[in-house]
Amino acid sequence: MSQIQSDHVHDLEFHVPESNTTGLEVGALDESCEVFKQVFALSVASNTAGNYKGTQWVLQKRLQSALPGIISTISGQWGVVWGPAVWKAQPDNSATGPDNSWFIAHSPNVIFDDGSTHEAYVVAIAGTAVSSTYDWMTEDLEVGSVVDFSAWLASGITQPPVTMKPEDVIPGGTYAANGVSTAVHTLLTEPSPSDAASMGLTLYEFLCGIPASASTRVVFTGHSLGGALSPTMALALVKSRAMQGEVLVYPTAGPSPGNGSFAKLFAQTFPSPPNTGSDAEYAVWNINIINSLDIVPQAWCTRPKQSPAQNMDNIPPIYGPVIQFIAIAIFFLKFKANLSRTVYIPLPSRILSGGKPTSTHRHVLEFLREAGENHTTFYSKVFGVGFPEFVLKMGDKLKEKTEEEKFLGYPVIGDIEWGNEHRTEVEAAVTAVRACGVPDDDQ
């Protein structure tokens, strides 16, 4: 298991020229080897609105106003060329945050880790926020149902993906979680908003318009749920031949978006090139960069023998003695994942050592706080890149989420938090499942 040494992280603070937003804190960027920090900084910039509640219009305008200033602080001459876009299933609901946020940044000259210089586009995708109103029988990724990925590509990825009936799922098929595929379709087909860059163009249209050239590279990146959406989008675009240039993928902290055939297809399509310019352990393309103490990348594999390092059985004891409710919650989440009739297998991963838990946890809230730190702060320290935030003022139409609402914005962590708020419903659901009998997952 890889180790991240403290000398890989540098502290350099600078400011964003946008009065309503605090800037990214980005570690020293050596352009000969730190393209990965630049990409990660763009990735976290897509999450700027994620900790806030407001209508889609208010969130959109605030992110649209703030993002150019945030991007300007990242070395590499980056500028926003598409979006940003904020999308909500309930656009007029001011009590929830964005469901999706995403944009494309461009730089005419980026020095990559192999020493070559390229024009570069970075597609940065935020995590899909979870609403506190969702039911315990559903959840953020809808992992209990899947999409036939190959059939979706054949039908055209601008068409909505079709959910498989459980009885139609066959061994050897290539499947992606229904929630992931549906979200990717939304990201590709929503037009860039009014007054945003490339107004009126969909992401799909913009990306298809980038000429295939050896001098141009397109990078897909995202953190958390964005770490599942970005590789899925890249794979869909390349395998459908919508994009034929040089494409790289850089997900961080992503849960598994599909089954073993999906993971194999991704690895074949995006082999990890040799690292030729940096000794940093996160400096590798086409690999999910994860923290060994982050519970999110442990989802959604339910078969420890097939993926010992990343599976859901690792979650309850990850920080020490098992808390009963955490074990109960993971038991039921595994049941939901198994409803898909397939087995989720992680994408190729680089596991960075998270060290040891900060303390022994006896309560769910303590567990969730540890999980949140390992899902966010750990990566900030590794990359030397902080998450930007809005500065709220009196009378602001945005509101910052509570601690509990922030937990709800993460995969698995959000499921545990929601279940902790609705224990009666959880206990009834688990009792019903156990009454039916659950087969051993470890096979």
Per residue in 157-186, pLDDT (tens digit) is 999 999 999 999 999 999 999 999 999 999
Q: Which residues does 51 contact at the CB level (< 8 Å), separation at least 6?
A: 97, 389, 400, 401, 406, 409
Which pLDDT belongs to residue 13? 29
Average pLDDT over residues 190-216: 95
More confident residue, 287 or 440: 287
Confidence (pLDDT) at 79: 96
CA 74/CA 127 separation, integer angstroms? 21
Does residue 3 surpass a pLDDT of 50? no
Its CATH class, for the domain covering 6-436, is: alpha beta
3-state secondary structure 286-321: CCEEEECCCCHHHCCCCCCCCCCCCCHHHCCCCCCC
Instruction: Please name the amino acid found at residue 82.
Output: W
Q: Is 34 exposed, middle or buried (0-12, 13-18, 19+ CB in 10 A)?
A: buried
pLDDT band for position 130 (cuts 50, 70, 90): low
pLDDT exceeding 90 applies to what percent of the chain? 69
Do the Cβ atoms of 351 and 309 come closer than 8 Å?
A: yes
Is residue 340 within 8 Å of 144, Cβ to Cβ? yes
User: What token pair was written down for 68?
Assistant: 């150019």
Which residues fall within 8 angstroms of residue 1, CB to CB, at 6 or more apart? Answer: 292, 351, 352, 353
Count of C-beta atoms within a 10 Å radius of residue 327 = 13
Q: Residue 173: CA atoms inside 13 Å, Cβ hemisphere, count?
A: 21
- Confidence category of residue 430, pLDDT binned at 50, 70, 90: confident
Distance CA 60, CA 81 (A): 16
Asked if 210 and 113 count as a contact pair (C-beta separation under 8 A), the reply is: no
Provide mean pLDDT across the span 197-208.
97
The ranges assigned to domains in the chain are 6-436
* pLDDT value of residue 38: 95
pLDDT given at position 275:
67
Strand partners, 119: 216
Query: Is residue 325 pLDDT above 70, yes or no?
Result: yes
Question: Model confidence over 218-230: pLDDT tens digits?
Answer: 999 999 999 999 9
pLDDT > 70? residue 438: no
Rounded mean pLDDT of the chain?
87
pLDDT band at 104 (very low <50, low <70, confident <90, very high): very high
The CA distance from 296 to 222, in Å, is: 14
Q: Given this model, what pLDDT does residue 75 score?
A: 84
Q: Is the pLDDT of residue 82 over 80?
A: yes
For residue 330, pLDDT beyond 60: yes
* pLDDT over 90 (residue 253): yes
Tell me the C-alpha distance between 130 and 141, whole Å: 9
- What's the farthest any 2 CA atoms get from each other in the chain? 61
